[in-house]
């Protein structure tokens, strides 16, 4: 009888398999950290303005190295509405531009629209619907300040069901220097 020797596979750790699992675990950990770090808070309901809806404003600043002065990089404006009113929005923008000494041709580059809902009697989808309805009305109005705006829709139970919060970021017009 002849005996054939069967090859015994070496039971060492396979570094390629381990590296794949380490990479997968790292990717999962980074995704969890990213998702946990994202947050949105509704701005405070106090502010400026003469319209019946409450408004707040604020700006981020950076220092120009060549001039050594503070210059606004993006001006932000928060306001609240119970319904879409084109005339009221135009008036609010005009008042804000005058108050901040901004060029009236400044444009909205980002509009975050948050729809309110009552968590006890309805789902967050109603808030999303209210924000979507407001953004569609804003697009249809074709206001010059909003022509190049990017929109982001969200919901919050901190707002009353008939309330829409809007956060706008502005950019002054770029002028050719010839």
pLDDT of residue 70: 41
Transcribe 29-79 into DSSP letters: HHHHHHHHH----PPPS----SSSS-EEEEEEEEE-TTT--EEEEEEEEEE
% the chain with pLDDT above 70: 68
47 within some domain: no
Name, in order, each residue with C-beta under 8 angstroms of 133's C-beta and a sequence gap of 6 or more.
84
Note whether residue 37 is domain-resident.
Answer: no
> Is 38 part of a structural domain of the chain?
no
Please give the mean pLDDT across all residues of the chain.
Answer: 74
pLDDT attached to residue 63:
37
pLDDT in tens, 53-90: 444 444 433 333 333 444 344 446 788 888 898 888 88
Q: What is the CATH number of the domain that holds 91?
A: 3.30.1330
In a domain, 12, yes or no: no
Which domain covers residue 147, as residue numbers? 55-171
Contacts of 56 (CB under 8 A, 6+ apart): 43, 44, 46, 47, 48, 77, 78, 79
Q: How far is CA 22 from CA 13, 31, 32, 171, in A?
A: 14, 14, 15, 44
Between residues 138 and 36, the one the model is more confident about: 138
- Residue 40's pLDDT band, with cuts at 50, 70 and 90, is low
Structural domain tally of the chain? 1
Q: Is residue 152 part of a domain?
A: yes
Q: pLDDT digits over 84-126, tens only?
A: 988 888 888 888 888 888 888 888 888 889 888 888 898 888 9
pTM above 0.85, yes or no: no
The answer as to whether 18 is a domain residue is no
SS3 label, residue 176: coil
Q: Does residue 19 lie in a domain region? A: no
Q: Is residue 34 part of a domain?
A: no
């Amino acid at each position: 009888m002849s005996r054939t020797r069967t090859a015994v596979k070496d039971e060492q750790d396979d570094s390629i398999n381990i590296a794949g699992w380490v990479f997968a675990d790292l990717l999962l950990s980074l995704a969890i950290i990213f998702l946990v770090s994202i947050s949105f808070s509704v701005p405070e309901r106090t502010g400026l303005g003469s319209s019946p809806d409450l408004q707040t404003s604020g700006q981020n600043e950076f220092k120009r190295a060549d001039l050594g002065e503070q210059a606004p990089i993006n001006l932000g404006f928060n306001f609240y509405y119970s319904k879409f009113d084109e005339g009221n929005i135009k008036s609010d923008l005009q008042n804000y531009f005058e108050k901040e000494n901004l060029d009236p041709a400044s444009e909205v580059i980002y509009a975050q629209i948050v729809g309110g809902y009552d968590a006890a009697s309805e789902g967050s989808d109603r808030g999303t619907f209210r924000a979507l309805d407001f953004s569609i009305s804003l697009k249809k109005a074709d206001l010059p300040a909003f022509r190049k705006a990017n929109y982001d829709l969200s919901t919050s139970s901190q707002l009353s069901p008939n309330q829409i919060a809007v956060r706008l970021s502005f950019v002054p017009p770029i002028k050719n220097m010839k």
